[in-house]
Amino acid sequence: MCGIVAYLGKERAAPILIDGLKALEYRGYDSAGIAVLEKDGVFLERAVGKVAVLEDKVAKRGESEGSVGIAHTRWATHGGVTERNAHPHRACGGAIYLVHNGIIENYKEIKSELKSKGHEFLSETDTETIAHLIEDIRKDVSVLEEAVRLALGKVRGTYGIAVVSEDEPEKIVAARNFSPLILGVGKNEFIIASDATPIMKFTNNVIYINDGEIVTVTPSGYRIRTIGNEEISRDPEVLDLEIGIVDKGNYPHFLLKEIDSEPDAVRDATRGRLEIGSGNAKLGGIERVEDEIVQVNRLHICACGTAYLAGAVGEYMIEEYAGVPVELDLGSEFRYRKPIFEENDIFLAISQSGETADTLASLREAKEKNVLTLGVVNVVGSTVSRETDAGVYQHAGPEISVASSKAFVSQVAIMALLTLFMGRRRGMSLVTGERIAKELSAVPAFMESILRRKEEMKKIAARYASYTNFLFLGRKYNYPIALEGALKLKEISYIHAEGYASGEMKHGPIAMIDENFPSVVIAPQDSVYEKNISNIQEIKARRGPVLAIATEGDKDIAKLADDVFYIPKTLEMLTPLLSVVPLHLFAYYIAASKGLDVDKPRNLAKSVTVE
């Protein structure tokens, strides 16, 4: 959600900033802008639409020679998608320029006060208020970073900001509160960004800025202090990422590449962590709290979006095989419902980015209650990874497409590992543990066998692409997968789809079924197979088209369903890792056939860092 890039060095800033914005395009945005400090003023350009539109406008203006600048991709919150609402914003005096991710909750009160002092506002945004506030404070404060610090003391809300001033042209001031910022420390240059992707080609030495911290960079170095004016000493750490992993290669879209990478995501999540002989899982990141995990009374799983659905699969796994009661919550609900924690409860946050605002706020709620906190995250050094007591990294690599695919299966695989880890320490037999570990190790090869039949799913998707409504049904372990299948179709094709527990179909959704309302039914040969078959029969009795996801060798289901896509046989608890692959392909091929921007769906952002 939105993106920030700022550069200070010896090179021309404009091309570096534009390239940085391109690296952040996967986050979702609707406008972009750039401000570069020049000898005779500020080179400011903003544009609605893609970064390429901004790049064209910058090129038409001629080369910008400045070596200090800020840039931004905006996802509209306050005010419509217009050029005047795009960032960077400037104060009415013209010296202060600012980019911002987040939401300022008390901007109306601040704006009203500033208007009474004569400040003139040009946009509808909350962001512009911060620029004017800094300018107003600078009437009495000569140093930019001090004015920023005092301004942020008056602000309530979430923010990642980067500020420059014509009065101090060799300086960038940045700050963070609930919106991620990273400082890249290069040789005679600094890059500040909202995630690591714009930084990777320049340096792998980074400093993660924490909430409530302000960083100032000048040609002589960097300085970190808190909003409370406490000096912070922090050395760079090495960022372990490869530039090439964010290249889509010969694929038409990142999403297809990432779906093809799902087997590797499961391999990387389980590599070195499966002990088949002992039927166990080795999770080094949580071993130091092993005693507390063994004594757990109840596990609270908290997440948002697709990560929540991975947690829902984990809920079934952990309760059935580890014997631990699980309470699953959406981050956006957990933080407001006054959750009750008891002795030996554990809180588990799942977040691909490690920056999801609602999940992070819920984590902090749990920490305030002195609950042991665990995390499952994909981004090393993210806020969730730093603030939890212990956790497990996904090792899925950067996921560029907004719609999650490989990160989801990675999270589900870790739920299986966590089930083994907890279960074997709480009474799970060696035989059961060995069977789960052995089957989990075979899952990537099973997934690859599904992906070799992509063309089969492409043809099936073509037969359903003209429909405007879908019902996705699943039971037990595959109920969350029905939700995931519907979510993916909605996200990238803009087709209405509902995910439902199969047993709930008769409690309302069946009223919608007719020949124009197809159902996708996940019906592997598991403990609820017969129940799912009954649901298919009920749909067919009402002339509803059915696409079934079924176990290889099941010939009977082909007599009922209009189309069947087969998946290999595996343990019931692991079927979600297989059944989700064709559903991801189904959504992808329908969206691609419509010529849609599959990697960057409208109105969506990769990392949701505001409520």
User: In which element (H, E) is residue 176 found?
Assistant: strand 168-177
447 Rama sector, left if φ>0, alpha if ψ -120 to 50, beta otherwise: alpha
Residue 25 phi, psi dihedral angles, 5° rounding: -60, -30
- Count the neighbouring beta carbons within 10 Å of the beta carbon of residue 406: 29
**Residue 159 pairs with which residues in a beta bridge?**
177, 178
Least Cα distance to 415 among 324, 548, 336 occurs for: 324
Q: Is 92 one of the catalytic residues?
A: no
Residues with Cβ within 8 Å of residue 435, at least 6 apart in sequence: 279, 571
Least Cα distance to 360 among 373, 371, 370 occurs for: 373
Least Cα distance to 266 among 410, 469, 415, 460 occurs for: 410
CA distance 405 to 492: 12
Question: Of these residues, 2, 257, 406, 600, which one is catalytic?
Answer: 2
CA distance 265 to 279: 21
What would the two tokens of residue 253 be?
């879209």
Q: Given CA atoms 369, 371, 375, 380 in this order, what sign does their dihedral have?
A: positive
Helical segments of 65-143, H only:
107-116, 127-137
The whole-angstrom distance between residue 426's C-alpha and the CA centroid of its chain comes to: 33
Q: Is 606 one of the catalytic residues?
A: yes
CA distance 601 to 259: 16
CA distance 495 to 517: 12
Cis peptide before 524 (omega within 30 of 0): no
Residue 139 class from Cβ within 10 Å (0-12 exposed, 13-18 middle, 19+ buried)? exposed
- Whether the Cβ atoms of residue 113 and residue 95 lie closer than 8 Å to each other: no
User: In which element (H, E) is residue 274 found?
Assistant: strand 274-275
**DSSP β-ladder status, 190-193 and 231-232:** unpaired
Question: Of these residues, 406, 476, 490, 606, which one is catalytic?
Answer: 606
Active site residues: 2, 606
